[in-house]
Structure 1
Amino acid sequence: MKKRKHVISLKDLSPQETLDIINRGIEYSEGNVVQGEQLKGKVIGIYFKKTSTRTRTAFTTAALRLGAQVIAYGPNDLQVNTGETMDDTLAVLSRMLDGLVLRTAESPAILRAFANQERMSIVNAMTEDEHPTQALADLTTIKQHFGKLSGLEIVYLGEGNNTTTALALGIAKFPNMKISFFTPQNYNIDPMLLNYAKEEAAKRNTVIEEFHDLSNLPKRADIVYTTRWQTTGTTKPDANWRELFEPFTVTQELMHQFPNAIFMHDLPAHRGDEVEASVIDGVKSIVFDQAENKAHSAKAVLEWCMR
């Protein structure tokens, strides 16, 4: 039996593997692939313990369009809720499924336990620390839009969350890029993961920085990116957190500082919080192309894992 591959963290993928998935996602997005045979005969489990619109739909439709069959599990569907051990659950699922796409608010360590077998591919559809398939879809969208990754500069405003971690880890794999994260004090990116990304980036002349003061905004940007302030599965420890976040709203005034920049958002969006409606609904916004590419990137991820 051929050993399965997994996408648990972008730390696990080589730069070439990451680029292969991105390029394949672009091929799917541009309609250059005949679909239907890639995963024919495979059965994919979709297990989401937390809410999802785009990621769950993306992986479900991706599996179906590539010829697989799908079993969907909700947060209360498996016997782990009645006391069965995760090891026993895993032993059963790995003998019946070819792949399992999993969203949980827990540590990625549980996914690594899931991946400690050779029968079933595991795809991280978001954990507490990282959202790798979001970053893969984002990089697919960016490369498709600009025709390149090298030389691009990104400004991110908002919370340091699992999307920002994944962006840092993904961008660190490519040369001559720059991303500047602007996060509220005490809502920063995980320092260990950020430092790891910085070290990897430095090997490729890529710059990853984090600031808490908007006076450090760069003079140029190709992309302005934000995420919603209330990340799925998290709460804010400060009662006045909105006051801390308000300066990091993406406004038309901020976008005017970067006249050539496009706007990206991983959605769902809360207009009037992290972004003004005129920005996300404006001509510079590519958020729905970005959302659509989650499905095309999901095809590339599933194909890479299981072929």
Structure 2
Amino acid sequence: MSNLISLTDLTPTDLADLVSRAVRFGRVGVREKTLTDRSVGIYFSKSSTRTRTAFWAAATRLGAHVITYGTDDLQLTTGETLEDTGRVLGEYLDALVIRTNGDVEEMRRIGTASRLAVVNALSSDEHPTQAIADLAALTEEFGSLDRRHLLVVGEGNSSSCALALAAALTPGLRVTLLCPAGYEVPKDILGAVDLLGEGRARVEQITNPSLVQGPVDAVYTSRWQTMGVPKEDPEWLTAFEAFRVDDNFLGKVAAPHTVFLHDLPAVRGQEVTDTVLDGARSRAWRQAHHKMTAAMAVLEWCVTMP
């Protein structure tokens, strides 16, 4: 079994293979049920529409049996340790998909069980499977990620962190993180990007929209309140006003071929306008489809890789 808890655990070849497999699943569907008679648990302690359903659909399409757990369904709520929970579930399951507001290290504690593959379906600091879906959508669109420039706009949240790490593993891909001051991608993540990319990662972070060097190939945004967690500053919205992706914003950074991505759910009128999200440039809905194909690639890789 192999865990996928953080992109920092992957090699460039690992990530490229996962993205390629996700693109293939999107193109031809399932040709072989590679997880027949395997068992997959899905534990989400927070709300989810796309990711939970994508992993359920991915596992069942590949032939696995699935059990889902809600917030209060595991004995974690009564004091059992993460390590003991993982050890027990490893006696029954082949993989456990987890979403929490905890950090990567909590998932690593569950993932110490040698017979259980653990998949990070969103932690407070990283969303690795979302990044795989995003790269699959971009690869499908452009054929190659080499010399492509992705502009990631808004809060430096778990999706932004994952895309920065993914860029470090993807030669030729350039990522610009455009974040409001005070809401940037954390310095420790940028440090990990440098280490992962061995100093060659084409990732930069800026806080002034006028400094974007366009045109870019894709503009990406997320909702400004990740997982609905409130911000400490009651006036936080004022810091984000210049970061709304509308037609005017796109007009300043886009070329004719530029596409728009959003990891969804969207708060229409905040981080993106209807005309952009529903417009001709938007690939958000195909991107959502690739959440399932990425989940298929990840589960297959975690459970069947020697």
TM-score range, shorter chain: over 0.9
> Could you tell me which residue of structure 2 aligns to residue 108 of structure 1?
104
| 2:207 maps to 1:207 | no
Which of the residues 214, 231, 251 maps onto 1:219? Answer: 214
Q: 2: distance between equivalents of 1:86 and 1:7?
A: 17
Matches within 5 A, 1:264-283: 264-283=261-280
Secondary structure of residue in 2 paired with 1:303 = helix
Runs of 4+ aligned residues of structure 1 deviating over 6 Å after TM superposition are none
Q: Secondary structure at the match of 1:28?
A: helix
- Residue 78 of structure 1 and its aligned partner are, at CA, apart by 1.1
CA drift at 1:20: 0.5
For 1:126, the equivalent position in structure 2 comes to: 122
| Gap regions ≥5 residues in structure 2 | none
Q: CA offset at residue 32 of structure 1?
A: 5.3
| CA distance, structure 2, for counterparts of residue 188 and residue 59 of structure 1 | 29
Q: What is the Cα deviation at residue 88 of structure 1?
A: 2.6
Aligned to 1:86: 82
Which ranges of structure 1 fall in alignment gaps of 5 or more residues? Answer: none
Query: Cα offset for 1:85?
Result: 2.8
Amino acid at match of 1:299: M
Give the structure 1 partner of residue 168 of structure 2: 172
2:22 to 21, 25, 39: 25
Kindly indicate whether the alpha-carbon contact (under 8 Å) linking 1:227 and 1:267 is maintained by their aligned counterparts in 2. Answer: yes
Choose from 218, 225, 232 the match for 1:230.
225
Residue of structure 2 equivalent to 1:46: 42
Conserved 8 A contact 1:114-1:122: yes
Measure, in 2, the Cα distance between the counterparts of 1:243 and 1:179. Answer: 25
Which residue of 145, 150, 154 corresponds with 2:146?
Answer: 150
- Within 2, Cα distance between the matches of 1:98 and 1:65? 16
Question: Secondary structure at the residue paired with 2:60?
Answer: helix
Equivalent pairs, count: 302
Q: TM-score, normalised by structure 2?
A: 0.96
* Cα shift at 1:201: 3.6
Higher mean C-alpha deviation, range 230-239 or range 39-48: 230-239
Give the letter aligned to residue 249 of structure 1.
Answer: R
User: Retained in 2: the 8 A contact 1:27–1:33?
Assistant: no
Distance (whole Å) between structure 1 residues aligned to residue 188 and residue 226 of structure 2: 20
Match for 1:8: what amino acid?
Answer: I
Once residues 32 and 266 of structure 1 are traced to their aligned partners in structure 2, the CA distance between those partners, rounded to angstroms, is 22
User: Is 1:98 aligned with 2:128?
Assistant: no
Secondary structure, counterpart of 1:262 in structure 2? strand
CA distance in 2, matches of 1:93, 1:143: 36
Asked if the contact 2:8–2:196 (Cα under 8 Å) also holds between the matched residues in 1, the reply is: no
Q: Which digits, 9 at most, give the CA deviation of each residue in 1:132-166, with x for residues without a partner?
A: 00001100111111000110001111000000000
Of stretches 47-56 and 191-200 in structure 1, the one that deviates more from structure 2 is 191-200
Fraction of identical pairs, as percent: 41
